[in-house]
């Protein structure tokens, strides 16, 4: 694992060179076929994380011209799809009293069911919980039985990642609007919680929509690669960063710099490091609950 930083740097070189040449697809192939892929292990997982921590640039598509004036040009057509989420509403004495909303987003190879379990484990009494499911479904071997393949989900696509970001942002806005139409929601107490792949996307959303999100719980994830750009704004948002000491995708040497970076735009930042790898630390459940509920006092 000591070669991991060098592999990450190698992948960055491939990617930046391809950006300059306008050849993103070739960059994916170069990374996947190189020694870098062997060091990084799960290459698909790495690429999806990598795509959301780099600076995303829009690359114009140039028509392919042939003799006689024939050409091939990429076109697109917009179609709507349904995105699914599970909504949990706890029992409460006064059904008319507005409640805080916790929007939970799973990571790569996750699902709305697994993230709902974690969110309820943190607090099943004080929040309406919406657990969102990523739009990109694929098969993955089961943890319990490698011969059995289960359907899992992700948030980012390697092709045109800016469209994945737009869909993520629109989904959060729709979830807030739909939930508040059905139940009384305290608009001053909306929280985002994400694991891994969804963390940087949640940062992008919260600091592109200032003062909408009360707090962010960021578990084992990165920060946007374009964090220094002016498109992100300061927001009255608190952030809790949860990191793992042996996280192979976000080493502690890297996550140590995250609090100062996020603090440039957030109201406050708390950082907790746990002796785990790239997993949702069990030891963090109660501290997350305490952090969330402390921001509800005085409502």
Are 107 and 238 members of one domain? Answer: yes
Which residues, at least 6 apart from 99, have a Cβ–Cβ distance to it below 8 Å? Answer: 90, 92, 126, 127, 128, 183, 184, 185, 186
Domain containing residue 91: CATH number: 3.40.50.1820
Has residue 195 been placed in a domain?
A: yes
Has residue 203 been placed in a domain?
A: yes
Are 212 and 161 members of one domain? Answer: yes
Residue 67 has pLDDT above 80, yes or no: no
Distance CA 148, CA 289 (A): 35
Q: Which of 200, 263, 207 is nearest to 232 (CA)?
A: 207
Are 148 and 240 members of one domain? Answer: yes
Distances (CA, A) of 32 to 17, 28, 42, 153: 15, 6, 10, 21
pLDDT confidence tier of residue 21, bands split at 50, 70 and 90: very low
Has residue 156 been placed in a domain?
A: yes
Q: What is the pLDDT of residue 22?
A: 45
Low-confidence winner among 14-28, 137-151, 155-169 (lowest mean pLDDT): 14-28
pLDDT digits (tens, 9 = 90+) for 258-274: 999 999 999 999 999 99
At 3, list the tokens: 């070669």
Are 38 and 136 members of one domain? Answer: no
Has residue 39 been placed in a domain?
A: yes
Are 44 and 121 members of one domain? Answer: no
Are 277 and 193 members of one domain? Answer: yes
Residue 1 has pLDDT above 50, yes or no: no
Quickly tell me which residue has 């024939």 as its tokens: 70
At residue 21, the 3 state secondary structure works out as: helix
Distances (CA, A) of 88 to 85, 109, 116, 179, 296: 10, 22, 8, 10, 19
Has residue 267 been placed in a domain?
A: yes
Q: Of 33, 50, 72, which closes a domain?
A: 72
- Counted domains in the chain: 2
Are 29 and 139 members of one domain? Answer: no
Has residue 299 been placed in a domain?
A: no
pLDDT confidence tier of residue 74, bands split at 50, 70 and 90: confident
Are 60 and 90 members of one domain? Answer: no
Are 44 and 140 members of one domain? Answer: no
Q: Of 27, 51, 72, which closes a domain?
A: 72
Are 157 and 235 members of one domain? Answer: yes
Distance CA 27, CA 54 (A): 13
Q: What angle do CA 178, 110, 205 make, to 5 degrees?
A: 50
Are 228 and 93 members of one domain? Answer: yes
Has residue 77 been placed in a domain?
A: no
Quickly tell me which residue has 């070669």 as its tokens: 3
Structural domain of residue 116, as residue ranges? 85-294
Q: Of 48, 72, 96, which closes a domain?
A: 72
Are 231 and 263 members of one domain? Answer: yes
Has residue 78 been placed in a domain?
A: no
pTM above 0.85, yes or no: no
pLDDT digits (tens, 9 = 90+) for 114-150: 999 999 999 999 999 999 999 988 888 766 666 677 8
């Amino acid at each position: 694992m000591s070669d991991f930083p060098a592999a990450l740097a190698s992948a960055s070189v491939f990617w930046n060179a391809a950006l300059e040449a306008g050849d993103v697809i070739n960059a994916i192939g170069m990374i996947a076929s190189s020694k870098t892929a062997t060091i990084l292990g799960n290459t698909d997982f790495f690429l999806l994380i990598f795509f959301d921590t780099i600076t995303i640039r829009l690359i114009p598509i140039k028509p392919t011209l042939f003799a006689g004036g024939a050409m091939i040009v990429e076109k697109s057509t917009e179609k709507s799809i349904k995105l699914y989420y599970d909504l949990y509403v706890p029992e409460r004495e006064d059904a008319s009293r507005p409640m805080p909303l916790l929007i939970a987003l799973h990571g790569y190879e996750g699902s709305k069911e697994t993230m709902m379990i974690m969110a309820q484990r943190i607090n099943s009494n004080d929040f309406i919980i919406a657990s969102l499911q990523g739009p990109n479904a694929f098969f993955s071997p089961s943890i319990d039985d490698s011969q059995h393949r289960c359907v899992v989900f992700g948030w980012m696509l390697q092709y045109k990642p800016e469209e994945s970001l737009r869909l993520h942002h629109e989904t959060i806005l729709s979830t807030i609007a739909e939930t508040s139409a059905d139940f009384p929601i305290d608009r001053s107490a909306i929280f985002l919680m994400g694991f891994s792949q969804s963390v940087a996307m949640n940062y992008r959303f919260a600091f592109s929509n200032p003062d909408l999100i009360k707090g962010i719980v960021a578990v084992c994830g990165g920060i946007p690669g374009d964090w220094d750009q002016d498109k992100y704004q300061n927001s009255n948002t608190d952030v809790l960063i949860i990191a793992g000491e042996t996280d192979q995708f976000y080493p502690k040497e890297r996550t140590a710099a995250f609090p100062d970076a996020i603090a440039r735009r957030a109201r406050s930042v708390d950082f907790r490091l746990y002796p785990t790898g790239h997993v949702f630390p069990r030891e963090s459940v109660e501290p997350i609950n305490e952090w969330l509920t402390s921001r509800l006092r005085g409502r």
